[in-house]
Structure 1
Amino acid sequence: MASAADLGSGKGHRDENFPVASVLLKPACRAPIMAFYRFARAADDIADHPTASADDKLRHLAAMRAGLAGSGEGAAAALARTMAERGLDPAHANDLLDAFERDVTVRRYADWEGLIGYCRLSAMPVGRFVLDVHGEDRRTWPASDALCAALQIVNHLQDCGADYRALDRVYIPADSLAAHGARVEDLAAPAAGAPLRATIAALARRTLGLLAESAGFAAMIRDRRLSAEVAIIHRLAESLAKRLMARDPLSQRVHHGKAEAALLAAGAAAANLFARRR
């Protein structure tokens, strides 16, 4: 069995579509968030490795769960120590491991509800952890959950071709494909045909609905720095969801360039600051 280190992708927090523990956040809050990110990245790399067997992946993820309980070394054990020191709820990290185990064993989703069920494990715990680190009111969770689900689905839509070709994993719900006359096999094409494009556009439109649900989230957050970061993430997600309604992720660039992202971030941060001052 390959070691967990052998399954690493080399990807880091600066390679993500959305900011992770940016310099906007208080240094005291960035450290535990980065510990959570390193844990999540290690587990994600295991689940997404293209050649490791399912049994090996599940064994490594089980070892990470033991690390959360205080056994051994590595990213999970380091996160466990951080959570213990700060009195943070370990449920969020365990939920993430449930999601990565599901990635190993589940390759298709029947409908939108099933996809949102996956997001409850894979995305919503991330936002909840960040809010807990900042001591925010848990009444903010529903808005955070909607935003985090939207971020996850945007990522799935952007990467739908690569996920299918490399892992035979499809997050696009089967009933959405069928409703537009598309097939799973269409994801292997170099460019999306009209049925698959219509499917992706419809899901992107539905994702904009999640972003509408979370539109007031930044204003609910007491911590000004976190509020600004959430406003930026929300603006970036809206832009990407709208792009996915017009662009083909199989053949066209959807990701923001650095200059584009910086411009959107500056606008969102300025609007957030103005709204808070008012």
Structure 2
Amino acid sequence: MAQEDAHIWGKQDVSSSKGMKDENFPVGSFLISPGHRPAVHAYYRFARVADDMVDNTRLSPAQKVVRLKALREVLHGERKPPPGRADAWSAVILRTVLQERNLPLELGSDLITAFIMDAEKTRYEHWSELLHYCRYSANPVGRFLLMLHGEGEETFGPSDALCTALQIVNHMQDVSSDLKQLNRCYVPLPWLQEENVHLKDLILARSKPGVRRVFDRMLAHVDALNEEAARLPALVKDRRMRLEAAVIVALCRRLTERLHRQDPIAERVALTKSDGLRALGWAMRYLR
């Protein structure tokens, strides 16, 4: 590897072994048409690589930003990837997929914008800041899937609501581990202050009443997002994508309900196989 490449990419690919089956929600599930699955897998792999870069505790924030910017440059054809580095070549593969499908490269590079935020920003002062983050970290995923299936712009609003809701409930699931392992917190700090609780209270054995009220405040916003997201399946024309959207809408609502009842600090709040089967059953109403 050339000296410049070594400085940018480091000696090792820091990508984890985490795969699509390890995610909280379906990625490229059997509901997606086989013809579209390779594109979904390429998009997932690129996102997974970038996520692993920013979450790696052995890299400094500056090193993370350098790698992420280089990955974005590869995606846009502005930099050649070093040979033998699967992390860098994930951007080449996604670039090819997006160009072949006539999809904008920003669907990938917007994710990089969010991961650079993660490298540089560990606290959020306002709910609007969190929504801005989700605009780059989550919403492009839904738009990618919809545009891949040829869906129109009328689906984007409900899709953005769904993806933002998914991102926020994921933050709530991981609220303690994110703070412990990455010193990162997505809970608006003024909301904690208003309840006279502190960041350290997010890593206790269980939620204090004030922390619980902050979580409920966040979930009230998620409930509103879920209401908007519920419009999505009926707007999707492709039958298989419509079912996929309906399943994810149902799963997000189910996880939100669990977070209303359970304490994400005291336990891992997660979906079950039964939740998945129920979501699939509910989605069948959109089989037309």
Fold equivalence (TM over 0.5): yes
Change (3 A) 1:111 1:4: farther
What SS does the corresponding residue of 1:89 show, helix, strand or coil? Answer: coil
Gaps of 5+ in 2: 1-6, 82-87
Gaps of 5+ in 1: none
Q: Is the 8 A contact 1:165 1:188 kept in 2?
A: yes
The residue aligned with 1:202 is 217
Change (3 A) 1:126 1:193: same
Confirm whether residue 164 of structure 1 aligns to residue 179 of structure 2.
yes
Q: Is the 8 A contact 2:251 2:276 kept in 1?
A: no
The residue aligned with 1:30 is 37
Q: Give the AA of the match of 1:206.
A: H
Tell me how far apart the structure 2 counterparts of residues 4 and 90 of structure 1 sit (CA, whole Å): 27
The residue aligned with 1:80 is 95
Q: Give the AA of the match of 1:146.
A: A
Corresponding residue pairs, total: 273
Tell me how far apart the structure 1 counterparts of residues 28 and 11 of structure 2 sit (CA, whole Å): 24
- Residue in structure 1 matching 2:23, options 13, 16, 29: 16
41-50 vs 176-185, greater mean Cα deviation? 176-185
What SS does the corresponding residue of 2:196 show, helix, strand or coil? Answer: coil
The residue aligned with 2:50 is 43
The residue aligned with 2:286 is 272
Aligned runs of 1:52-201 on 2, under 5 Å? 52-70=59-77, 71-72=80-81, 73-201=88-216
Give the superposed CA RMSD.
1.5
Tell me how far apart the structure 1 counterparts of residues 132 and 118 of structure 2 sit (CA, whole Å): 13
Q: Is the 8 A contact 2:154 2:235 kept in 1?
A: no
Tell me how far apart the structure 2 counterparts of residues 260 and 48 of structure 1 sit (CA, whole Å): 31
Change (3 A) 1:163 1:183: same
Q: Is the 8 A contact 2:72 2:109 kept in 1?
A: yes
The residue aligned with 2:274 is 260
The residue aligned with 1:220 is 235
What SS does the corresponding residue of 1:74 show, helix, strand or coil? Answer: helix
Deviation string, structure 1 residues 47-101 (Cα, Å, up to 9, x no partner): 1112311121112112211210233251111101111122111111111100000
What SS does the corresponding residue of 1:252 show, helix, strand or coil? Answer: coil
Residue identity (%):
39
Deviation string, structure 1 residues 171-193 (Cα, Å, up to 9, x no partner): 01112222322211111212221
Tell me how far apart the structure 1 counterparts of residues 107 and 164 of structure 2 sit (CA, whole Å): 15
